[in-house]
């Protein structure tokens, strides 16, 4: 049997959109399941919008996701070059052959003229298509346009009757009426190929067997099918998967929030979480199970299933998946992942003991949904003093709160320690001294020590602060409280 070959063909016109990353993942998983070759092809024929910097970013984002390819612009392969801008001669050769056989023709219509016709057709209730204005130009008419220095594009002569059919793994046999397809552009007036033309030449030359891409390309496919027919080539199998949608049911775009792979990376979403979520979105992989590694996805993924179901993107669901992956990391792994985010906020693990680092990482890993949220632990665990939230500022000013903190401080000063059992003994003494429950005592202390009302348990935080640091925090809270009380007495 012929070896399967698939490709991911992004246009380097911006950062890698998560919808496209999902397409790349589907290709990758399909390739892994079928022992297929996976090709990365850069479709950079839109010269105004393509940028080598974007190509670099795309490649980095794919690598970060853990998606790997066998052939592409950054590695060798016998089907190269893998950038369309380096394959112009090939497209030229085929378009010349079509012109030669009068299967294609020069079109001199300007954008304004085309737009005008389009509007007129829409107004009269007809689906717009190129009306064939330049289909049968005489030599004289052509010469006149040339003399007027109009730059022509080249269009394919498409049939007016019959049907165009192609096979799609997700949609079955897809049929379009030929009459709905106008003579479409093969080469633009700037000498660059159109998407529909270049994609066919490349998929054929790169021996692609299955084209996996978003449903937004379904309407392009009859044009591509016509070209395969024109050249007498077998068309590949297609698989047009459902698109990522926003919660309003429209195609996911910037309107719905951040959409690039990099923005989720910068937020502290793990690559495995994005991958897991993309695969999950298309429908259940395995009943009752949601968390998968990339390796496990290779076994569990079904292109047919995932491709068909509507995929509504929910950031909160993605963050939940991320949290599950974070919880599965060892403290040592979490420490490595979280460090760059802490450093950005001016905090570092450098010079700290391994046991401290891992204890902190464990707390962070259990409590955050994104690595960026770990920055909130800077004031709690790394810096000299915590930052009081607005609620805490109000509550610290209350005299009952101040009394509890003060009682704790007095007892703490008798035998300062950050040892867990010493601290438990201190707390026990304070409780019985004041005749209060553990709960009554914990909240004021938590506010003094961490600056917030919720978060990880105090008995995990205190041992990570030195006795000196604990004393400093108690002092600061009491000073703040006294100061606030004085202010309110004055006013």
Catalytic residue numbers, as ranges? 254
Q: Are 451 and 388 in contact (CB under 8 A)?
A: yes
Closest approach, Cβ 326 to ligand GLU, in A, equals 32
For the CB of residue 195, give the shortest distance to ligand GLU in the complex, in Å.
6
* Of 197 and 277, CB closest to ligand GLU: 197
Minimum CB separation of residue 239 from ligand GLU in Å reads 11
- Cα end-to-end span (Å), the chain: 88
| Shortest separation between residue 17's beta carbon and ligand GLU, angstroms | 9
CB contact at 8 A, 179 and 161 = yes
Stretch that binds ligand GLU, among 4-12, 242-250, 335-343, 390-398 (CB under 6 A): 4-12
Quick one: which of 6, 9, 36, 279 contacts ligand GLU (CB under 6 A)? Answer: 9
- Residue 358 contacts ligand GLU per CB under 6 A: no
Nearer to ligand GLU, 43 or 272 (CB): 43
Stretch that binds ligand GLU, among 7-15, 120-128, 282-290, 380-388 (CB under 6 A): 7-15
Determine which residue in the list 5, 10, 375, 447 makes contact with ligand GLU, applying CB under 6 A.
10
Q: Which positions ≥6 away from 14 have C-beta within 8 Å?
A: 54, 260
Name which of 489, 449, 441 is nearest 472 in CA terms: 449
Strand 37-40 vs strand 244-245: parallel, antiparallel, or unpaired?
A: unpaired
Q: What is the dihedral of CA 240, 246, 248, 253, to 10 degrees?
A: -90
Between 54 and 431, name the residue whose CB sits nearer to ligand GLU: 54
Q: Which of 6, 11, 198, 473 binds ligand GLU (CB under 6 A)?
A: 11
Q: Are 78 and 124 in contact (CB under 8 A)?
A: no
Give whichever of 83 and 329 is closer to ligand GLU, judged by the CB atom: 83
Q: Which is nearer to ligand GLU, 217 or 328 (CB)?
A: 217
161 neighbors 178 (Cβ within 8 angstroms): yes
Cβ-based nearer residue to ligand GLU, 44 or 183: 44
Q: How far is the CB of 199 from ligand GLU (least distance, A)?
A: 5
Considering only residues 20 through 49, tell me which ones interact with ligand GLU, judged by CB under 6 A: 43
Give the three-state DSSP class for 48. Answer: coil
Least distance CB 224 / ligand GLU (angstroms): 8
For residue 216, the minimal CB distance to ligand GLU (Å) is: 7
As a whole number of angstroms, the distance between CA 176 and CA 327 comes to 49
Count of residues binding ligand GLU (CB under 6 A)? 7
83 vs 402 by CB, closer to ligand GLU: 83
Q: What are phi and psi of 255, to 5 degrees?
A: -55, -30
CB 319 within 8 Å of CB 372: no
**Sheet arrangement for strand 37-40:** 37-40, 5-8, 210-214, 237-241, 163-168, 172-177
Nearest partner of 231 among 254, 203, 259, judged by Cα: 203
Site track 174-213 with ligand GLU (rule: CB under 6 A), x = hit: -------------------------x-------------x
42 Cβ neighbours under 8 A, 6+ residues apart: 9, 10, 11, 12, 55, 58, 72, 73, 82, 83, 84
Binder among 15, 142, 217, 229 for ligand GLU (CB under 6 A): 217
Residue 382 and residue 339: Cα distance in Å, rounded?
A: 12
The binding site for ligand GLU (CB under 6 A) comprises 9-11, 43, 199, 213, 217
């Amino acid at each position: 049997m012929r070896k399967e070959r698939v490709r991911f063909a992004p246009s380097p016109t911006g950062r890698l959109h998560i919808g496209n990353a999902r397409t790349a993942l589907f290709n990758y998983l399909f390739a892994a399941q079928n022992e297929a070759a996976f090709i990365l092809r850069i479709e950079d024929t839109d010269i105004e919008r393509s940028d080598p910097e974007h190509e670099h970013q795309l490649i980095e984002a794919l690598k970060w996701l853990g998606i790997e390819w066998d052939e592409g612009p950054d590695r060798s392969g016998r089907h190269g070059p893998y950038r369309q801008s380096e394959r112009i001669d090939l497209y030229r050769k085929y378009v010349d052959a079509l012109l030669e056989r009068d299967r294609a023709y020069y079109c001199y219509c300007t954008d304004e003229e085309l737009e005008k016709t389009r509007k007129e057709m829409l107004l009269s209730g007809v689906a717009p298509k190129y009306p064939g204005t330049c289909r049968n130009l005489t030599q004289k008419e052509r010469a006149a346009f040339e003399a007027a220095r109009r730059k022509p594009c080249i269009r394919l002569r498409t049939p007016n009757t019959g049907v165009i059919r192609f096979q799609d793994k997700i949609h079955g046999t897809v049929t379009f009426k030929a009459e709905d397809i106008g003579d479409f552009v093969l080469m633009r007036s700037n000498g660059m190929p159109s998407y529909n033309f270049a994609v066919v030449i490349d998929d054929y030359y790169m021996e692609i067997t299955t084209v996996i891409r978003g449903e937004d390309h379904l309407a392009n496919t009859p044009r591509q099918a016509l070209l395969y027919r024109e050249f007498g080539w077998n068309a590949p199998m297609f698989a047009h998967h459902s698109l990522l949608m926003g919660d309003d049911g429209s195609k996911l775009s910037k309107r719905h929030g951040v959409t690039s792979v990099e923005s989720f990376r910068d937020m502290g979403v793990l690559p495995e979480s994005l991958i897991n979520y993309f695969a999950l979105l298309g429908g259940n992989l395995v009943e009752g199970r949601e968390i998968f590694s990339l390796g496990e996805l290779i076994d569990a993924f079904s292109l047919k299933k995932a491709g068909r179901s509507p995929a509504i993107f929910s950031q909160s669901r993605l963050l939940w998946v991320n949290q599950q992956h974070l919880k599965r990391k060892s403290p040592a792994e979490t420490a490595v992942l979280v460090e760059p985010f802490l450093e950005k906020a001016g905090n570092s693990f450098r010079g700290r003991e391994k046991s401290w680092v891992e204890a902190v990482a464990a707390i962070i890993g259990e409590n955050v949904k994104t690595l960026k949220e770990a920055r909130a632990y800077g004031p709690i665990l790394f810096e000299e003093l915590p930052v009081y939230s607005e609620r805490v500022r109000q509550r610290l000013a209350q005299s009952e709160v101040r009394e509890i903190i003060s009682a704790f401080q007095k007892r703490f000063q008798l035998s300062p320690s950050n040892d867990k059992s010493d601290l438990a003994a201190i707390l026990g003494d304070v409780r019985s001294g004041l005749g209060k429950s553990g709960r009554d005592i914990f909240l004021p202390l938590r506010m003094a020590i961490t600056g917030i009302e919720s978060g990880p348990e105090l008995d995990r935080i205190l041992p990570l602060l030195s006795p000196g640091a604990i004393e400093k925090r108690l002092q600061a809270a009491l000073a703040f409280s006294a100061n606030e009380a004085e202010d309110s007495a004055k006013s």
